Chains A and B, each alone.
Chain A
Amino acid sequence: MPKEWVVVYSITDFITVGMLLTVVAMNSLKRMESFLRAYTINSILLAALMAVSAFYLDAAHLYIAAAVTLASKGVAIPLLLRKVVRSLKITHEAEPNINTPLSLVISSVLVVIVYSSLSKGIFIEGFTENTLKVSISIILISLFIMITRKKAVTQVIGLLLMENGLFLAGFSLTYGMSTIIELGVVFDVLMGAIILGVFLSQIKKTFIDLDLDKLTTLKG
């Protein structure tokens, strides 16, 4: 079978590990635009993964899903967020709650925990348990990034990263949900990003800052 090389060379694993690396790398990124770029790469890799499995499985609807993912997560959302970031004039993340070396260590510890405790799932053809483990790791690390960072924009990107992780997990366990559901999910994410963008501007307007520590004053 001519398409065997996908499995033989573990293409899917390469791509998922690439996604994991981008997320881990985001721990050390402080410039807003590079942070956003890492997210973009992550999304493009996700779309690529979907395209590869569509090619391997000969499933037309997965091509569509891959295309939609690329268009929304790889292009539309990064563009939107970049616009927000530029309009809000935030170029750098404030000093994170946990310093970079330590957060890198904690990220790797999270990956270790996931790898050591997650049991085997039931995967679609061409995927291994690595995919699931990587996707759970991505979810946990992006949650961890949300904890360490103080700016609201990074929180939003962290949330979107988590969404990528969830998407990956779902995708690796099923042959992709039916196209209409995938489209719905993508649309949801897009809407979420837009709403969060508006929120960011509002927070900035109200608190003069996007530093989330200020939100503590809302507590009764």
Chain B
Amino acid sequence: MSSVPADTFRHTLAVERADRPSLDGRLRDLLAGKKILMTGVTGFIGEQLLWKILTELPDTTPAVLVRRKRSAGARDRMIGVVKKEIFKAAREAAGGPEALLDSRIDVIEGDLPNVPRLPSDIDVVVHCAGDVSFDPPIDQAFTTNVVGTKALMQRMIEACSADDGTLVKTPHYVHISTAYTAGRRRGAIPEQAHVHSIDYQAETKAGLAMRDLIESESRTSKQLAALRKEAEREHRQAGYLTTAADTERRRLDWVRTELVKAGTERARSLGWTDVYTFTKALGERVVAEVGADVEVSVVRPAIVESSWRHPYPGWIEGFKMAEPLILAYGRGELPEFPASPDSVVDIVPCDHVVNAILAVCATHPEVGKAEYYHVSSGARNPLTFQGIYGHIRSYFIAHPFEGGPRGAARLPQWQFPGAASVERLMSTSERAHKIADRLLAGAPRSPRTRKLANDLDRTRGRLDFLRRYLSLYNEYAQSELHFVDDHTLALTQALHPDDQPIFAFDTAVYDWATYIKEVHCPSVTAPVRRMDALRRRRGSRPNTMKNLAKDSAGSSALAIFDLDGTIMSTNVIEQYLWARLPELSTPRQIAELGQVLRKLPAYLRAERRDRGVFLRAVYRRYAGADLAGLEQFVDQTLAPVILSRLSPEGGRRIREHRAAGHTTILITGVVRPLTRPLHPLFDVVVAADLATDAEGRCTGFLTGPPLVGESRAAWLNHYAALHDIDLSRSFAYADSHSDLPMLSVVGNAVAVSPDIALMRAANANQWTSVEWKTKPSTPRWVLPR
């Protein structure tokens, strides 16, 4: 292969500078007796760096700065690190993870930017902690990359200074940056400080201030009202607290999104792709400025991916940049990518980066003159998008994901139509999705609607994924950067011949086909394949619809059932008509029916807004009915109609719960007389009680508010407390979104023929959804007689 920039770079070695820092011996000797303080050891590069020091540099002492994570202290976290597979040899040599820590590693607990005092015997500081995400909130990006870096360096200088502030020794500060600090520049990027005139202190101050600004803005009445409306649209039926919780969640999301946006826009307004590279670039400026009196080197890796050779080919921790895209492609979910087919994907294997860092640690740059090293492949061994696409595609053709019952996924063929066209495709899809979603919201509840909604949600998930990754990588996928890596190349060539097999980091030594198809892809797909296999074996679905024969909770558990739509196919309007119409004369029946029909739209609106309001409106119509007569009528005439609408599966499930010793509870907004035929199934029936006047006639009001939405959850909690019930072992069955709070308080919630909103909630909470059907033998319009 021959391409102009590559050829140009490959054959153009940098002008040899006599004063360039170099290596004059083996690394183990050069770094012997030195203490290397490193940050980010729990991360990807840091972990391998530690491994390499422990394995290849026996006389070097690593000191690690580790922050607390919840209850785990620094030492606990380090034990977790050295327990990993790659440390096996070191661990065994030392006699266990604790012994390894005690004998070889200095652990310092501390955080960035709140760095504690550092020991005075440090010789080298390697700062490889940082955000891996490209789109952190702006304040977080500045805190980590600018403020944190500055704090670390100041502590380092303080540790190497006497009390009066004069340096007693000159430490070597090795800063791990990124090649993409070059930002939106184009063409060849030399290994030196980027030229710009940005006042990093002012930028940092402004960036950090954004948090308070946006936080305040999120609390304005206008913003809160807008968020509440959004939350209400989705959760109104579930009640105020659910809505409130969702509003707050939305506010936090909004703040985060705005902070991210603020970061991205600020970065772009100054010529960087995103806030990550922008703050990293400012971090380099900090390094040069604060480190004016010490030795400073800046290592700028490009896209760090799995190892080429060490600790073993394909070693990788967690998912980095390209993995989600590779996996999505393998699953057939990445139909197109807005990349330029000829732009270079600058990937470097992790072990090359680690080797380069250690080699840099062993150099002594001139004080006050920072050295820069690009660890990149694009200049001398370029891999184009077209190339990586071809390799990944052929890898998945040879080793497809097991696609389950439907076979392997079809791999999309990319045409590289350009960013604009992909963007058009995306936004059309998103618009279509939005319309379909709105249409579906009004669709009647049925298995078909649920299936459509499920499909739609899957599409939504895919679109969101694409949108997120495309917007993140859009810039990189079209970058036309070529990172000159002459300094790095010179350094690797300066390695002692004995060090070459261990520490070499010439990124031109491997060929991409081998790396992608035999090292990287197998490595990143392995955990996914394992997971898939596990899921296939276990069955992917969580199950809250447990087999009650094995349940041992006994009387400490409840089984709560909603009525309408869950164990019975009816609604309160229909029930009202059953109960009321038979006692009226035919003309009055017609008049009553007419009135109900006329009010139906109002009722439906009320139902969408608040179920309590709706129930009250319908129950007003019971005014004047004789309660005792109604009860008798239900027992004698209505019972068969009600029972014929009882779902057989539901009835059986209730009795299974009784057989298992659970307390069965019916919670419903239906008026109590209508639940009478079901009383034998339940220990407790919570229903709406119609208030009566002195003559026993219904007033049209209820004796108390109907138990709907959150009041059900509150009632349950109270009941459980009174009766010594373990709600986590209890069961609840309901069909509509308004029952969400009730379902949320029990350990085993089951959505029965749910509406779309509840179905989504059930999917999110990993609740089982079941279909309980009823097949009444008489049609709806036949009045009970």
- The judgment on whether A and B are partners is no
- A residues adjacent to B (C-beta < 8 A): none
